[in-house]
A and B are shown apart, each in its own frame.
Chain A
Amino acid sequence: MNIIKKYIPLTIVFIFGIITLASYYVPHRASDEYLEWINKWENIVSAFALFLGMISLFYSHYKKIQRKVDGWGYSLFVYIGFFIIMGAAILSKGNISKEGKLTYLGWSFNNIFNPLSATMFSVLAFFIISTAYRSFKIKSFAAFLLFICGLILMLGNIPLGEIIWDKVFGWTKLTIGEIKDWIISVPSTAGRRGIMIGIAIGAAVTSLKIIFGIERGYMGKE
């Protein structure tokens, strides 16, 4: 059992890890063909995993409906929503529009999915304002500096900000756009580069750990 659960996955990871790493240094067509083949396998495995995930989803909601736990109606809606959209997709044969007219799937997409997604994203605006009011307290010089940079970037992002800046600081002969571009391209880029380099090195070492079987989190625990 140990061979199946431990050694075979480790061997697979090692072999494919080394081959994929080596393919970066091999210009031959064989390398491209290997990568295409691996990508196809990834798609197949993802499809099966999605199927497993859906079974789990339906099972857990079925249990909630069966036991009539608090909020079981939402679980019923999971089934209703799924079958309505599936039905629309099947009837429309997967097309969003046909001959310039919206199909059932297209209508569902435009009038249900679109507004719901946009709503969730727009909730972000409200959360930003409540977080900013609650949490952005200037308690140190570093926080003050951060606030000034944030203020310049926010004002630089809006035409009204340009007008305000020109009225108050127009005498400096600098536009807020120039200062904003400088902040983005110099200190922000420098900081980002540092983080990116650290993350890249971390990713490289973690990859080595995974290839050589030192990091085994992806297998689940032993």
Chain B
Amino acid sequence: MKEKLNKILKLDRRYLFVLLTLSIVIPIIKPIGIPSKSISTSVKDTYNFIENLPEGSTIILSLDYDPSTAPELHPMASAVLKHAFKKNIKVIILTFIAGSGGLIDELVRTIPPQYSKEYGKDYVVLPYMANPLAALTQMASDIHSFYDKDINNKPLKDYEMMKNIKNYKDVAGVIGITGTALLDYWVVYVGDKYGVPILGGVTAISQVGYGPYLQKKQLKGLIGGMKGAAEYEKLISQPWKGTSGIDALNIAHILVIVFIIFSNIVLLILKFL
């Protein structure tokens, strides 16, 4: 009995991998449709911030994630952009991650036509910049001195929506969706220093770390992980990948909990044998 239990404790991890694969793949192929009961306060705050912005306001959407974190962050970026367009809010999209180009391209190819939004009038995309600190500090005085051209290499000043945008004072807020620590930079170098409202979208693992910022209202709102993305999609009534991935997330989480409890029960039994 003891040997069997020890064998179970030292189970080849490939069995665990197979179980995990099945728990993720099956709900994606055949959705279960587990309903989401509540919406977290920080997601609601983010939604309300955009909802309460006057029409014609401009926000900066900083999309700093690459394909590795796209499953969690891309759905929330898409939801936020759709919400902004729905409320006729102008969006300046920028990035400090080289690998996000294709993801941003996918967003701006598919979403603006759904809301009849025009490039240059309703949204602009700024080119990738390697030095986030330089960009964040210089945009405080003049965005055009740092970003003189857009991603299409055309002068930024020529675009209708950028004519009245000089610096952070002309922007209603910044939403940073990132899988890196860039949101901290926005909070410290822009939010705290210039009083610009900062909101964020991060992976589930990083969400806990932003507790202090949320508590002190340095972050006005936060969307965390795929669940946060699903909640936001529910608020704007546009289910997408966040919602469709939540079933797999449910089962996988339960599986991990079951494995931990199981291994500890086996350990407890071994202790008394």
Taking Cβ atoms with an 8 Å cutoff, the residues of A that contact B are: 32, 35-36, 39-40, 42-43, 46, 96-97, 100, 106, 109-110, 113-118, 120-122, 125-126, 128-130, 132-134, 136-138, 147, 151, 153-155, 157-163, 166, 175, 177, 181, 184-185, 188-189, 192-193, 196
Cβ-defined contact, A185 with B257, below 8 A: no
Which chain B residues in 37-80 approach chain A with CB under 8 Å? 37-38, 40-41, 66-71
Q: Is the CB of B212 within 8 A of A196?
A: yes
Are A133 and B17 within 8 A (Cβ)? no
Bound form: Cα–Cα A138–B131 in Å: 44
A157-B267 in contact (CB<8A)? no
What is the minimal beta-carbon distance from B134 to any residue of chain A, in angstroms? 3
With A138-B264, A162-B38 known as contacts, the answer to whether A154 contacts B99 (CB < 8 A) is no
Q: Is A114 touching B70 in the complex (CB atoms < 8 A)?
A: yes
Given contacts A114-B67, A159-B36, contact A126 B137 (CB under 8 A): no
Are A175 and B38 touching (Cβ within 8 A)? yes
**B105 and A106: CB pair below 8 A?**
yes
Instruction: Classify chain B: how many residues form its interface, as a range.
Output: 35 or more
A129 B208 Cβ-Cβ under 8 A: no
B257 with A154: CB separation less than 8 A: yes
B253–A121 touching, CB < 8 Å: no
* Distance of A216 Cα from B183 Cα, bound (Å): 31
Quick check: is B164 within 8 A (CB to CB) of the other chain? no
B259 and A129 form a contact (CB under 8 A): yes
Residues from chain B with Cβ under 8 Å of A39 in the complex: 131, 133-134, 137
Write 13 A-B pairs (CB below 8 A) sorted by A numbering.
A39-B131, A39-B133, A96-B101, A100-B109, A109-B102, A116-B67, A117-B66, A117-B99, A118-B68, A118-B70, A126-B16, A157-B225, A162-B36
Interface membership of chain B positions 143-178, coded 1 if the CB is closer than 8 angstroms to chain A and 0 otherwise = 000000000000000000000000000000000000
Binary CB contact string for chain B from 193 to 232 against chain A (1 if under 8 A, 0 otherwise): 0000000000010011101101100000000010100000
B102, B130, B212, most chain A CB atoms within 10 A: B102
Identify which of A46, A106, A121, A166 gathers the most chain B CB atoms within 10 Å of its CB: A121
